[in-house]
């Protein structure tokens, strides 16, 4: 085979679309090596993937097969809200071993590639010369003023850093547009582009996290400015490389693919709106926040 397959799947809910994407990748993906393979690892399964979630807030939202728990999902949502932005290293310090980036940091402070001193949204730091712009704020403002704009986009890629980075951002862009239906109700549509997406190890948490980000940050921000409700329309998820690492294929088969013929879809998913699921999702919040604050304190040296 000389071409990477381009796969397209759709699901009404997040859990359905996620399962459909994994099955399509398992059945139709191509074998590929990666720069992260260890000696003896089998080749990965890879594809270019488009996933459309028609109703991102619909149940069943949670798939039981994703390798994580409710605490992991809640912590990731906190991360996308900016609570771990202080974990990013100073790129001018070769001894700094903190994270290369956070998605929230790239979206809220794009261009902050040096230690920032006094730089705000859309301003230039006098002392460092590092341009910094709050893309989240600007996108919300654009959508509030002109819901049908085609310019409500945020990006993460910074070529001056990322072309030479060992672990550059996988998320590349978020694009938004609001559709008004015949009843004058507003629906936030979103396109998400990943250059690389670990289908088994990360993609469900990514999709869940950005569903919550779109609802709690983008839609809520537009609502606050306009006074009008904003519903969640479809989310299209594009991954240039949607892959399962070779080392994970066995686990994916035992936890999902080998069970498809012997279990019902309803038994492979959770309803996020179920009170017991909500309780499990929220009960770890104090412990997660303590962990994040303890790490923040260590990063500050306090």
pLDDT of residue 115: 44
> Shortest CA distance to 5 belongs to which of 33, 40, 34, 29?
29
For 6-300, which CATH class?
alpha beta
Three-state secondary-structure class, residue 192: strand
What are the tens digits of pLDDT across the range 127-172?
A: 344 578 999 999 999 999 999 999 999 999 999 889 988 889 999 9
Ranges of the chain whose pLDDT falls below 50: 115-129
User: pLDDT at position 113, please?
Assistant: 59
- pTM for the structure as a whole: 0.92
pLDDT digits (tens, 9 = 90+) for 237-276: 999 999 999 999 999 999 999 999 999 999 999 999 999 9
On whether the CB atoms of residues 82 and 108 are closer than 8 A, the answer is yes
pLDDT of residue 51: 98
User: So what's the pLDDT on residue 80?
Assistant: 98
Give the model's pLDDT for residue 130. 55
The Cα 54–Cα 51 span in angstroms is 10
Domain ranges of the chain: 6-300
User: What are the Cα distances from residue 221, in Å, to 89, 150, 160, 171?
Assistant: 29, 18, 31, 22
């Amino acid at each position: 085979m000389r071409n990477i397959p381009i796969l397209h799947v759709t699901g009404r809910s997040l859990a359905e679309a996620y399962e459909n994407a994994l099955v399509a990748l398992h059945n139709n993906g191509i074998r590929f090596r990666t720069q992260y393979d260890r000696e003896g690892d089998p080749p990965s399964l890879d594809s270019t993937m488009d996933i459309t979630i028609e109703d991102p807030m619909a149940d069943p939202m949670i798939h039981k097969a994703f390798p994580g728990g409710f605490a992991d999902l809640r912590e990731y949502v906190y991360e996308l809200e900016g609570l771990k932005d202080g974990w990013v290293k100073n790129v001018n310090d070769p001894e700094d071993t903190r994270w290369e980036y956070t998605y929230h940091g790239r979206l809220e402070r794009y261009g902050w590639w040096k230690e920032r001193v006094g730089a705000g949204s859309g301003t230039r730091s006098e002392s460092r010369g590092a341009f910094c712009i709050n893309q989240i704020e600007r996108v919300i403002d654009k959508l509030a003023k002109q819901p049908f704009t085609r310019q409500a986009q945020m990006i993460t890629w910074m070529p001056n850093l990322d072309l030479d980075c060992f672990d550059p951002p996988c998320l590349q862009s978020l694009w938004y547009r609001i559709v008004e239906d015949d009843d004058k109700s507003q629906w936030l549509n979103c396109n998400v582009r990943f250059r690389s997406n670990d289908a088994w190890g990360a993609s469900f948490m990514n999709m869940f996290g950005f569903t919550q980000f779109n609802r709690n940050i983008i839609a809520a921000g537009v609502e606050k400015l306009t006074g009008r409700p904003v519903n969640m329309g479809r989310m299209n998820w594009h991954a240039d490389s949607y892959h399962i690492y070779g080392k994970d294929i066995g686990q994916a088969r035992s936890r999902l693919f080998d069970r498809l013929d012997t279990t019902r879809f309803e038994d492979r998913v959770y309803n996020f709106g179920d009170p017991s699921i909500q309780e499990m999702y929220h009960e770890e919040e104090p412990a997660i926040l303590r962990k994040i604050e303890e790490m923040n304190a260590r990063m500050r040296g306090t």
